[in-house]
Amino acid sequence: MDFVKMHGLGNDFVILDLINHPELNNRDFSQVAVKLCNRNFGVGADGVILVLPSRKDDIRMRIFNADGSEAEMCGNGIRCFAKYAYERNIVPKTELKVETLAGTIVPRLEIKGNGVANITVDMGKPHLERSSIPMKGPEGKVISEELEVDGEVYKITAVSMGNPHCVIFVDELEKLNLKNIGPQIETHPAFPQKTNVEFVKVEGPDEVTMRVWERGAGETMACGTGACAAVVAGVLNNKIQRKTRVNLPGGVLLIEWSSDDGRVYMTGPATQVFEGRLTINL
């Protein structure tokens, strides 16, 4: 089976096109993802993205993390997905509707020459009620709320972008032991479906720097939904403006939480690295 390797700011994915493989559409891809994402024995990636037909939208995306769990959505992944679908003429539109577990997501493509230069994605409205994160506790929003982890108290803001995020603002990122604290917050009992974790440093009113621990994948070079959650959390805590540059280890995303329609818009690139053919038994 052929595959394509792509990344969004270093957050990398194996793309499997199942449009012409209907016999595989209903199989369990959890263990396939574990095999393919292994950087020693597989292709190596943060996740596996499936390209599927949709009964209600232009096309359907499923994404599996490196640990085999299925994610509701992925901001970097959907930019790669949209570029793949357009450049292969699967959906020859510069605005396409993508069915995901988080609902219909609409990427808009900026075309230069014969290819896609940038993608702006309408990520929808953030969910802020505790029950919609989901997070245990009394009803209401979770803004700068204390959470104890391993004897230390963190002030967290919880946001769902179709998937759960726990945002923590810090004064410095360099000394942060993310490999230690990240998985502890990811699997904290307060989050029944686990959570993504973002540590964010405010650089100015329209700029932040972020490190992310992704649920099911560990530390990654970038996280699109995490960048959106970080900006929403920053606005809720009166730290930044609604239109903000988010610096990630893999590059920059531009995020805007619109005051007009309440929706979050993410703009960034997607890059194809190579094409190949799988020879391992799926």
The Cα–Cα gap between 182 and 186 comes to 6
HSE (CB half, 13 Å, CA atoms) of 267? Answer: 12
From 37, 74, 80, 166, active-site residue: 74
**Catalytic status, residue 223:** yes
Residues 6+ away with beta carbon under 8 Å from 24: 18
Residue 228 designated active-site? no
For residue 134, say if its preceding peptide bond is cis, omega within 30 degrees of 0. Answer: yes
Q: Among residues 37, 80, 166, 223, which one is catalytic?
A: 223
Please give the Cα distance from 156 to 165 (Å, whole number): 10
Q: Partners of 168 in the beta sheet? A: 156, 199
Please, what sign has the CA dihedral across residues 33, 31, 190, 62?
A: positive
- Assign residue 119 a region: left if phi > 0, alpha if psi is -120 to 50, beta otherwise? beta
* Three-class SS of 41-95: CCCCCCEEEEEECCCCCCEEEEEEECCCCEECCCHHHHHHHHHHHHHCCCCCCCE
Answer positive or negative: Cα dihedral of 169, 174, 175, 178.
positive
Catalytic residue IDs: 74, 223
